[in-house]
Amino acid sequence: MRDYRLDFPSRSIATPRLKFLTATDRYILRLVLMPMFAVFLIAASLLILDKMLKLFEFVSTEGGPVGVVFSMLVNLFPEYAGLAVPLGLLLGVLLAFRKLATSSELDVMRAVGLSYVRLLRVPYLIALVLVAVNLAIVGYLQPLARYAYEQQQYELRSGALGASIKVGEFTTLKDRMALRIEKSEDDGRRLMGIFARVADKKGQVLAISASEGRFLASQENRNTIILRLINGTIVQDTPKQAPRVLSFSQHDLPVDLPAIERFRKRGNESREYVLPELLKLGWNDTTPKAERTGSQANFNYRMVEVVMMLLLPLLAVALAIPPKRSTSALGVFVSIVLVVAYHKVNQYGQSIAELGQVSPYLALWGPFALFSLLIVWMFYRVAYVPGGQAIGALETAYARLAKQVKRLWQRRDRARGIIAAGAADAV
């Protein structure tokens, strides 16, 4: 009996390649990035515009150049970015998942087996990048920028930025010269309507007026500048002699610069230290107790602000999904309130920890633990409880309030219609 065996050509079964970022992940990435960058720009712009008006007033009062305002705003940007970056991450993820929920795309993704944890892969990749960025901002850029900002304020007040001579006012220089400038053009390069009164130790007084002039650097003495005057008159008053009047087309008047003290070294406050310096001071037994306590409080404050960003994607998803058949945006408002309130609580915790009243671990990491538990519970309600809502009670109350407001609005419109109809009939 013959044995027959059928041989089939062997074929290698190609297993599909598992991609780390699928088309769904790339779609979520696009949904997150657009609102995130928009929030960055809007939040930073609003904070900077609010400060810009105050800086313009301050610089104009001190008589400084307008250009220094923008330099000071650049130094303030890291401080505002420390709050704008977490807000951008939170609202970027929240608005992306809210769009998925309101368009029923999230239901489709859940139906094909994608869990909330799996859908958070891209948001957490973004969060890790932004955590590193924010750590660099609060740990290094903010202290250096804060010191530079304080230095610019000092230089404006002391006159190191050209703010010692104010337009339209008499300025005394080294108790021997009084100078007044009527008008300034070309950012201070052209001066109009100049009057100067110069006195020396012998009692001689010079009264000088000129139609225009400009300041020039002196090559011989760095502590002296030259005021070149054009088309003016000099009245020389010498004791026991008759005054003399001289006219000139050009005259160079040396002006002694006032002595300006150097600005203090960085480190007057704990917020001017970078993270390695805070570690060195805060956990060094030779450091004075007050400085050591302040350094520990500031270090823990910066770290807790950065670490909290790791929980923001969970908070965003928990507040992004409205109730079924609803497009309520209450979660957006609640998320902003929670993050800003937590930021203020951290600032208060840092202040009392710096005074030594409470341990910095309790004052800063205590609220962090409570807020973290709240976020995890809210995410659990949405991700693992069927039909669960993180702020279901608030959503219900908000819906009832909205209905009442709508009814009152409709009653007002009907009342207006009746009044208008009655007035028309009377006519």
Say if 346 falls within a structural domain.
Answer: yes
Residues forming beta bridges with residue 229, ordered by sequence position: 213, 251
For residue 153, the number of C-alpha atoms closer than 13 Å in the C-beta half-sphere is: 14
One-letter amino acid at 37 equals F
190 with 236, same domain?
A: yes
197 with 148, same domain?
A: no
Say if 309 falls within a structural domain.
Answer: yes
Tokens representing residue 308 in the block:
């909290």
Tokens representing residue 193 in the block:
């309507």
Say if 242 falls within a structural domain.
Answer: yes
pLDDT at 91: 93
Distance between CA atoms of 248 and 174, rounded to whole angstroms? 26
CA-nearest of 259, 257, 251 to 194 is 251
CA distances, 300 to each of 268, 276, 306, 307, 349 (Å): 19, 13, 10, 10, 10
pLDDT at 12: 47
Contact 87, 39 (CB under 8 A): yes
Say if 78 falls within a structural domain.
Answer: yes
Tokens representing residue 420 in the block:
């208008």
CA-nearest of 301, 406, 287 to 352 is 301
284 with 146, same domain?
A: yes
Biggest CA–CA distance in the chain, Å, is 151
Reduce the DSSP state of residue 190 to 3 states and report it. strand
Contact 90, 123 (CB under 8 A): no
328 with 366, same domain?
A: yes
Quote the domain boundaries for residue 252. 170-256
What is the number of helices (H) and of strands (E) in the chain?
Answer: 13, 6
Tokens representing residue 389 in the block:
């809502």
Has this prediction a pTM greater than 0.75?
no
CB neighbours of 32 closer than 8 A, spacing ≥ 6? 92, 93, 96, 122, 123, 126
Please identify, among 256, 291, 310, the residue that sits at the C-terminal boundary of a domain. 256
Helix (H) / strand (E) element for 214: namely strand 205-217
125 with 176, same domain?
A: no
Reduce the DSSP state of residue 377 to 3 states and report it. helix
Say if 163 falls within a structural domain.
Answer: no
Reduce the DSSP state of residue 44 to 3 states and report it. helix
pLDDT at 8: 43
Contact 257, 224 (CB under 8 A): yes
pLDDT digits (tens, 9 = 90+) for 85-132: 999 999 999 999 999 988 889 989 988 988 999 999 999 999 999 999
pLDDT at 324: 74
Say if 162 falls within a structural domain.
Answer: no
Look at the chain and report how many structural domains it folds into: 2
Reduce the DSSP state of residue 178 to 3 states and report it. strand
34 with 151, same domain?
A: yes
Phi/psi zone of residue 188: left (φ > 0), alpha (ψ -120 to 50 degrees), beta?
Answer: left
One-letter amino acid at 369 equals A
- 22-28, long-range: CB < 8 A, 24+ apart: 24/109, 24/114, 24/119, 25/121, 25/122, 28/96, 28/100, 28/119, 28/122, 28/123
Say if 425 falls within a structural domain.
Answer: no
- The 3-class SS string of 276-322 reads HHHHHHHCCCCCCHHHHHHHHHHHHHHHHHHHHHHHHHHHHHHHHCC
Distance between CA atoms of 178 and 170, rounded to whole angstroms? 6
201 with 137, same domain?
A: no
32 with 98, same domain?
A: yes
Q: Which residues in the chain show pLDDT less than 50?
A: 1, 6, 8-16, 161, 163
pLDDT digits (tens, 9 = 90+) for 211-234: 888 877 766 766 677 888 888 898
373 with 280, same domain?
A: yes
pLDDT at 121: 93
Say if 391 falls within a structural domain.
Answer: yes
For residue 293, the number of C-alpha atoms closer than 13 Å in the C-beta half-sphere is: 15
150 with 69, same domain?
A: yes
120 with 184, same domain?
A: no
192 with 140, same domain?
A: no
